[in-house]
Chain A
């Protein structure tokens, strides 16, 4: 773990003053005490391992700051949950002989989360066109029929999606 730069006392104070509040807040948002406890913990780790300048706001307005970080982590958490559930559903549709090992599963889940993050922010139809092209191998004509739009629109969607991913690709 990276060094804790916040003065030990203030770290302890931050934690004891706000942990209960943050946990309660996350519980209400997530409806699950266990997940909320994990995220509250991750939030504090995130704050305490930041550089001291980045920590300044934590001391000025601790709850606003903790809330912001927790919200980001919660979004990641839900993304991961969605991807994981979808991944397991997709696996369930495969014949038994093709079931990957637990290790492969873990690697693929990470890769899927990364792809899902890369596609984040695309409009649904743009995303759909992009997936039909890149993963299903459909031509623009076929995508146009599938989505009920013109071929030209498909071309525009594709340019938008490709540029988006170009900028966000690892």
Chain B
């Protein structure tokens, strides 16, 4: 239970409707998009950077943990308040502060929903490319804190590539402004890169200045059917090494297809081992079409059964909606799923897919494979029922083998979800002691009291 005086002070900062303490309110801030849980002692919904600063200052004085979060759709346990304390839910700081068309930048508050930001800038012919599948249920602040990816990152880069400036409340409550509207800036260390992907452990991101680009005028999306998963995973490299860089190159295996089809009823093929979704965009329609033809040719050479190009925007958006629904649709099969996002060098994709399926075979639990194959970022999802202790034990062993596979192939534990609590145990293996020591010293310098999202990312 939180001290009454602290609660009174919090209410003074945000007003009464910004401080939640009922057991019901606390219970619904105890989870994210995983099965991790931890109950906060109070939830604060600030409306300005100044309020965040006051809350953090108060927390620092009283040594209370502060866990910042957006919509809680994270997939690594990063925003779960595992040690209690204050949850700072940024969802009410959701204003679009300015769209600067001349400089192609957007200045937003951290709680804006990423899809809302995209809609707003696209009305002006501008484009914010990062597109995590949680685009409608995640915030920019959360995207930056986890350096979110998404299908289009193959061509356009990840969230961090679009961060030009940040307003960050530091662990003592001071407000840091980093970055500016310039695309180039090499003065001093790159603090933007430091806070991007820091998962709320180094500061609370309250505002962001984002780089925009011109919205591509034309886009074509193809659904390619492969009777063999092996052929599909080999095709990814065949396309990329042919000098073509699609906007997105996504892979779905047969279970991913089946679950999604069950949820969406959109006519996905149920008699193939895999599909690729390939998108091409740009400002020259003829060029896109000719590249699309080249892609189709390569796919057929590699064993594709059929290449279907979406005939209109509706068909295209349905296809992407289906792709974005995969992760949730898998839960139609079992009560629980553990979705990882290991990333390997793209030449190793076929081998990674083979080994992941071997892990599934060895333990007898399904491992569904889908993901952003084009950038080597795969989402092996283990389907299981947590109520069965035997399955739960297997899951632990399987995850370990998945990570070992990624590392052996020269890859990494996480491409876009982050570490949170779920990948902490594997950090030593992934990074080695020197790297971890350096990073812990950075954490120590910025948050000496360890109040910002404690218990996350690094092993104790």
State whether these chains interact. Answer: no
